[in-house]
Structure 1
Amino acid sequence: MFAEADSMFRPPINRAMRTLDRSFFKQTIPISAARIYDNKNISKYRTALEQSKDVLEVERIITIRPDPVAAYANNNGKCLLLKPEVKHDDSSTWSAKLRDSVKAEGVGVVPYELELDYKYWTYHDIISAILPENELGEIPSGFSIVGHVAHLNLRDQYLPYKHLIAEIIMDKNPNIKTVINKIDDVGEESEYRTFNYELLAGSGDMNVEIKEEDCIFHFNYAKVYWNSRLNTEHRRLVALFKEGDAVCDVMAGIGPFAVPAGKKGVFVWANDLNPDSYNSLEDAIKRNKVERYVRPFNENGHNFIRTATASLFHTHHTVRIFAKRPRGAVKFDLRTATPDKVLIQPRVFNHYVMNLPASAITFLPSFIGLYANVERSLLTNPEGSLQMPLVHVYTFSTKSEDNVGPSIQICKEISRQLELDVDEEITPQTPETAVWDKRAAKDAQKKAAKADAAEARDAEKKASSKVLIKRVERNKRKYVTAVSGLEAHGLDLKKVAKDFGKKFATGSSVTDLPSAGPGGKEITVQGDLSDDIYDYIVENYTAVPEDNIECIEDKKKKASS
């Protein structure tokens, strides 16, 4: 019975469709509803009938609806949708609570025609109703989103449906305005790491805006290289740089390493061979106000390694930093005022970054003898030991179970590029590798233990964290509903507030909650929606245990006359 009921809510099937016909996807489902005679009792009967499992439980279907009979609906009459197994003309299908509610004349069970259309079903629902059954194993669902552009990489068997797929993706993702499909590998025909593509749907506008690490980038996605999946790596590497360091970014692209590094006070000489990347890099530097720290270049990377190193040695540059003054503070002349801090650009680079996996390793010969004539004192740390710059080289390799073999091959290639002689064959059995394996295993165990401990602490914190839904009376019997405690369960308050606003078609915003201490926040929703919000949280935010949610009432005290 359950499988039969579930199939009722699936879209109609048309596997011959080649041009998207949205009007085809309509379905009228005959079910029953509990007519609620007094709207004051909506919450009461919904809770009772949900507990008795009479209420319809289907994702994205709102169960409180206008009454199906116009005479009731015109008087704001409401009904509660019931699951398909409950028949309005067969009381034997009703639960004891439903029968008692009808007997008490609080509700009546009536027929209801539930209408679903194209807007209701998801991308996966629609495309599953169109593709041939033998192609449903790996439905195209993963794609990159770059600004307003969806970037697909469709397999050959799905190419006949590419325009259908693209149109549905646009329909179900309102922020997407252009859908493209890659038709070659990145860099296959271009040393600038760009790729050929075909436009499948939308305007074709490839000028996008990206926000990453509190930085804004504007660029033409068709003319420069960008990979949104590298965000974690960008963050990891920039975290290694210290304020006042000097970094040479040899293949900087539009600046995903350079610009965030500049924001944390790192001096970056950023280069890219692609003129379009260079122009976007210049724009990002100005747009994010890091001109004092980041310098753009448009040169060949082999030459840039040597010319930038030599130029930095003879370049003197300082940045005077002043603490932020409060509003209304007396203005002062920056030219003569004493700064709170002065950063002096180093004369040698602390890091070199070469993020061009296809060929970066072949740039290593440019480092041979690079610091042969540099004063040793410039390469000595405060403890007096030699500290050469770190070179971060990205490359492609095969993956193995322990990654020892591929690592050895990479080391051999690095040695060859740097013209270093390897006296003996490096194998996984050598002492050096054994020591490396032990250290790696020990480090992995420590990381796993820390992760387990952090997860346990987080789980304990979540288990004890209450979500309070408070009905607050304002002037003249107006109410708002305040929700606090969601952030303890890993939810983004701004996103949840936006979800509430859309769901209940009312004002919803994140506001300060002084009683929670500095930085405390809550969501304030216009209207008396405590029960509705309770249900919405339980249904949509599974990270919040239902036992942790409490509804309370807080009447505003009236001022004494």
Structure 2
Amino acid sequence: MASNLTPPQNRGMTVLDREAFKAEWTTLAICSPSTAVKQLTTALEDVVPDNNNADKKFILLNLDIKDIKEALNDTQLELIKNYEIIPYRFQVDYDYWTTEQVLYSVMPEGDAETPSSFTTTGHIAHVNLKPENIPFKSLIAQVILDKNKKIKSVVNKTNAIDNTYRNFQMELLAGKDDMITELKENECRFKFDFSKVYWNSRLQAEHRRLVRMFKKGDYICDVMAGVGPFSIPAVKKGAIVYANDLNPSSYQWLCENIKLNKITSNISTYNMDGRAFIKKAVKDLYLESNGTKFFQHFVMNLPATAIEFLDAFKGIYKGIDISSDLLPMIHVHCFTRSADPIQDIKQRVCQIMGGPIDAAFCNMQMYHVRTVAPKKDMYCVSFRLGPEVAF
């Protein structure tokens, strides 16, 4: 259809009225048999067939085209010379317009950004609305629900993430009140109550990136495991995992997801404070293996506060017979607002650990995970635990 169509303007609409998005236009159309449609639409620009008639098609030209001879080149004119060109009146309704087009037409004039983006978690769409969008929240949610058939619920968070349990209060904006969702990520299935645990689908690539570092037979300590996005793929890869989360709901769904993925061995689960868990996991593995096995990796995915838990590694291998080259890699997620993120994170890590990360600090790896907000970035810093701290 004509490429320059815009929906009727409904500035200030806060309750969705689908009838208000009906519109009617007249444009030039090429009257063509069905057999010629493909050839014509390939050769012409800004056209699309009207499929209302099975035997005869009306190929609609761009609304801007008023004179065929001026708009088309000689080759195109030769192609259509035997076809009738007629004025064609057509209608479109709410179903025709995209989410962005509908929302742009209702937002106050001058708004630079249309609030059409959302994160999908199973059947749930999670929007992050700015204060100026709040009066339109019900309409925004209903449009998202209408235009995305796999979405059944639209929610907006009403407060910041709780740093203890990593969940947030949510407001149901449209759809059914069902927060128990299920999805697939990295060839694993996950089920959980989105209102009681932390899950961010935008971290899928980060989950995959770290799991790729793990080898079959590696021992992994997942300190803030959530519902298992690192732990479960790691076990399926052949690693042995000790997984912990303080949030009782996360722990419950972690255990549920272990069953859901038909995992019957090589994972131990804990529901305790992260600092206490780090010490307990090291001790448990040492005793269970009679001092022959050690963790290769610690994962600490609690970006708001994970760095603060690094003090648990002070003296953690004191009295344990382990060579320095077998000390574990630590992967810590964190936020920074600094213009010099590497220096900022380095200083914070060293301050908490009470010493250098390792003897060759330049080997530290800093990975930018994503930009969370303007001037707020999420990083993963990876380093080997140094003997100065470990012993």
Q: Secondary structure of the equivalent of 2:30?
A: strand
Aligned residues: 361
Specify the code of the residue in structure 1 equivalent to 2:21: F
Write the mapping of 1:41-56 to structure 2, written as runs, cut at 5 A: 41-47=36-42, 50=44, 53=45, 56=46
Q: Rg larger in 1 or in 2?
A: 1
1:393 pairs with 2:332: yes
Deviation at 1:122, TM superposition (A): 0.6
Question: Residue 113 of structure 2 corresponds to which residue in structure 1?
Answer: 138
**Counterpart contact for 1:314–1:347, Cα < 8 Å:** no
CA 44–163 in structure 1, closer or farther in 2 if over 3 Å, else same: closer
Change (3 A) 1:11 1:347: same
Instruction: Find the residue that maps to 2:318 and give its secondary structure.
Output: coil
Residue 366 of structure 1 corresponds to: 312
2:229 to 236, 256, 271: 256
- One-letter amino acid of the counterpart of residue 311, structure 1: D
Kindly tell me: are residues 239 and 184 of structure 1, through their superposed partners in 2, closer, same or farther at Cα, counting changes over 3 Å? same
CA distance in 2: counterparts of 1:29 and 1:208, whole angstroms = 43
Residues 6 and 289 (structure 1 numbering): CA distance in 2 closer, same or farther, change over 3 Å? closer
Matched, 1:418 2:364: no
Contact kept in structure 2, 1:148 and 1:178, CA below 8 Å: yes
1:355 matched to which residue of 2? 301
Q: Distance in 2 between matches of 1:208 and 1:19?
A: 28
1:210 to 172, 183, 193: 183
Distance 1:232 1:45 in 2: 43
Change (3 A) 1:310 1:24: same
Cross-structure match for 2:381: none
Contact 2:242/2:267, CA 8 A, preserved across alignment: yes
Structure 1 residues 41 and 232: CA distance shift in structure 2, 3 A: closer
Question: Could you tell me how far 1:24 is from its partner in structure 2?
Answer: 1.2
Q: Which has the higher strand share?
A: 2
Between the aligned partners of 2:153 and 2:236, the Cα distance in structure 1 is: 31
1:336-392 residue CA offsets vs partner (Å, 9 max, x unmatched) = xxxxxxxxx9622122222122222222232222211212xxx24xxxx64212222
Evaluate the alpha carbon distance shift between residue 97 and residue 361 of structure 1 in structure 2; reply closer, same or farther with a 3 A threshold. Answer: closer
> Does structure 2 retain, via aligned residues, the 8 Å contact 1:85–1:93?
no
TM-score normalised per structure 1: 0.59
- Structure 2 distance, partners of 1:14, 1:291, is 57
The match for 2:142 is 167
- The Cα offsets for residues 433-484 of structure 1, whole Å up to 9 and x where unpaired, read as 9xx49x99xxxxxxxxxxxxxxxxxxxxxxxxxxxxxxxxxxxxxxxxxxxx
Equivalent-residue separation in structure 2 for 1:235 and 1:100 (angstroms): 55
User: Which of 29, 35, 45 matches 1:33?
Assistant: 29
Aligned runs of 1:116-127 on 2, under 5 Å? 116-127=92-103
Partners of 2:68 and 2:210 in 1: how far apart? 66
Choose between structure 1 and 2 for higher RCO, CA contacts under 8 A separated by at least 6 residues. 2
Name the SS for the 1:231 alignment partner: helix
* Residue 63 (1) aligns with residue 52 (2): no
1:228 aligns with 2:201: yes
**What is the TM-score when the length of structure 2 is the normalising length?**
0.83
Partner of 2:389: none
Shift of 1:193: 0.8
Quickly say closer, same or farther: Cα 1:174–1:353, change in 2 above 3 A. same
Q: Is 1:148 the equivalent of 2:119?
A: no
Matched, 1:157 2:132: yes
- Offset at residue 408 of structure 1 (A): 4.0
User: Residue 94 and residue 108 in structure 1: after superposition, are their counterparts in 2 closer, same or farther (change >3 A)?
Assistant: farther
Cross-structure match for 2:272: 299
Structure 2, unpaired ranges of 5+:
366-391
Once superposed, what is the RMSD of the aligned Cα atoms?
Answer: 2.9
Provide Cα deviations, 1:152-177, integer angstroms capped at 9, x if missing partner. 12111111111111111111111111
Matches within 5 A, 1:301-450: 301-316=274-289, 347-375=293-321, 379-380=322-323, 386-400=325-339, 402-410=340-348, 414-420=349-355, 436=362
Counterparts of 1:459-470 in structure 2, within 5 Å, are: none
Quote the Cα distance in structure 2 between the aligned partners of 1:22 and 1:409.
55
Shift of 1:227: 1.4
* Structure 1 residue identity aligned to 2:330: V
Structure 1 Cα separation of the partners of residues 185 and 271 of structure 2? 23
